[in-house]
Chains A and B, each alone.
Chain A
Amino acid sequence: MNHDPDEDLVRRVGAGDETAMQILIARKLPRLLALSRRMLGDKAEAEDVAQETFLRIWRHASRWRFHHAKFDSWIHRVALNLCYDRLRRHKELSNDDIGIVSDFNDVQSIAPEEQLSGKVERALQRISARQREAIVLTYYQELSNSEAAAVMGVSVDALESLLSRGRRALRSILLKDDEHER
């Protein structure tokens, strides 16, 4: 396996170096928060997932085995598992398969670009979680297809299938929403 770019930092975190921990927060938090927000469509839930992910990083950093997998792939997987826990919990609590409501409530007072962003957020919540995961990992997190497939535990072919179906579903939802508004 190639050298892990996070190796030195994670070793220092495992040794209790608080400066290294702050650097790791700066390096990973924006991406983890973006991942969680796009998976869950909810600001508060996304922040909870980000926090919980870091608690697990602190606990496991001293035992991390670098030849096993890339650290970045591992934290993606941890965050995604935490997202799925929340999605399952919401599905159990909700009779309708509505998904998590985004906090774009008052459309009138929101700028057009924010409205569009909200539409995309809602559309993402309406496609299947696995398709959403594939799109978030490749399009937004910009993982390579092999990295994304490894995080998801699928083949590259399966990943491409999820991506295609996910993008088709999104296109259909967003175009339909567009037609309704005209």
Chain B
Amino acid sequence: MNDSPMTPERFAALAEAYGAQIRRWPECDRGAAAAFSNTELGKDILRRADALDALLDTYAPPQVPAALRADLVRSASRHVTKQRRLRWGFSLAGVGIAGLLVGLIVTKLITPSDYTPFHPPELGTGMTAFGDITTDFGISERED
């Protein structure tokens, strides 16, 4: 609360900024302003501000169209549905990823530590699952 008395200049400046209704003025100035408003100068200043306020008050707020309200309610509903679908999609993706991780972990656990993966023989070497057939059949010695 501002304890200093209201000066005419400050009173005029507040009326010029906020209009004639002291309830709209800064809270800290209202007490001193109310006292000054009873003076002749104060009343003159408020009358001038009130003339503009009266004009500003004629500019009534628009009615809210029912169609606009309905559109917004529909947009709210669409948003909620979309969020639910996204959450459902993330849940499914989460289950899929979890399953993949479990599969990898289980594979790692059950695979023997001395396991060496099978490497197929290079093409043309004669190497088969039964060994090198070129030495058995003398293929490498053929002179065709």
Contacts and interface: CB of A to CB of B under 8 A. Distances in A.
A176 to B, nearest CB: 13
Given A37-B61, A138-B18, A51 B55 contact: no
B58 to A, nearest CB: 4
B75 A117 contact: no
B92 interface: no
A116 B61 contact: no
Contact of B76 (A22, A171, A174): A22
Interface stretch (B64-72, B94-102, B103-111, B114-122): B64-72
Nearest to B12: A164
B65 A47 contact: yes
B41 interface: no
B75 A124 contact: no
Interface string A105-129: 0000000010011011100100000
Contacts of A164: 13, 16-17
Interface string A15-54: 0101001100100011001100110000100110011001
Nearest to B25: A145
Given A37-B62, A116-B58, A167 B75 contact: no
5 A-B pairs closest in CB distance: A34-B61, A21-B76, A163-B17, A120-B59, A58-B79
B129 interface: no
10 contacts: A34-B62, A43-B62, A46-B62, A51-B72, A51-B75, A54-B72, A139-B18, A170-B55, A171-B51, A171-B52
Nearest to A115: B58
A160 interface: yes
**Most chain-B CB neighbours within 10 Å: which of A21, A29, A170?**
A21
A47 B68 contact: yes
Contacts of B62: 33-34, 37, 43, 46
Nearest to A37: B62
B75 A55 contact: yes
Nearest to B82: A58
Given A30-B64, A121-B59, A16 B80 contact: yes
A104 to B, nearest CB: 11
A142 interface: yes
Interface string A51-65: 100110011000000
B59 A124 contact: yes
Nearest to A16: B80
